[in-house]
Amino acid sequence: MNLLAVLQNTTMPETGMQGSLEESVSLFELIEKGGITMAVLGFLFVIAFYLLVNKLLVIRKAKKDPTTLLEKVKGAVKKGDINTAKKHCDRDVTPMGKMLKTGLGYIGATSNLDMIEKSVENVGKLELYKLEKNVALVGMISGAAPMIGFFGTVIGMINAFIAISQEEGSVSPKLLSSGIYEAMITTAGGLAVGIFAYIAYNYLVRAMADVVHKMEVVSIEFIELLQSN
């Protein structure tokens, strides 16, 4: 009798372990249980990731050090060779090259430095707009994703309680817990997407600030070059 009791006590945990393994849910199944809310969050993640990669490639080109270009342009302008200076700008794909080329186009046409400076700044603003385009969308996703996830959780909880209310007799803890964890999946998904988008947005803003600084330096040095000549 004692031996039988010992055997029963040792086999019961193993049975419980097997049951827990069988009831374990994969990540894909968890996402699937999130329903349409998780589909929306997945779509927002794809958009944020695409914009991050796209803008990083654009900013990488724009962040090129303008020192070499400035030296070449300065040397050509001092020699009076404006065409060569423009060719140097044509070979440069950065916003700074376009700004300098615009300013060079006014040399000989007008002596109004204020007009030239304003024209260079306008080109700089246009290039900055191109850099900033759709970056705000990443910031919007960082704020919207957690709220969408929470909305999905509320809907999931409502559905869970509806299912519980339709049960006859006592409600099992398993049914209650399964309804709650399925509802909480969307909150976790929303937070994950929101955190990713938040980090991406702030990184892009910081990278663009570096480009803006270089554009301002180029504008100032070009006007000083014209003033010295």
Whole-number Å distance between alpha carbons of 67 and 104: 17
d(CA 174, CA 149): 23
pLDDT, residue 164, reads: 76
Vertex 179: Cα angle to 22 and 43 (nearest 5): 90
Domain ranges of the chain: 29-61+132-228, 65-131
In angstroms, the CA 76 to CA 85 distance is: 5
pTM as predicted: 0.76
pLDDT values of the chain reduced to their tens digit, one per residue, 229 residues: 443 443 344 444 444 434 443 445 676 776 777 788 899 999 999 999 999 999 999 998 888 888 888 888 888 888 888 889 888 888 888 899 999 888 888 887 766 778 888 888 899 999 899 889 999 999 999 999 999 999 988 888 887 777 777 776 666 666 666 667 777 889 999 999 999 999 999 999 999 999 999 999 888 888 888 887 6
User: Would you state the pLDDT for residue 168?
Assistant: 66
Q: How many CB atoms lie within 10 A of CB 132?
A: 14
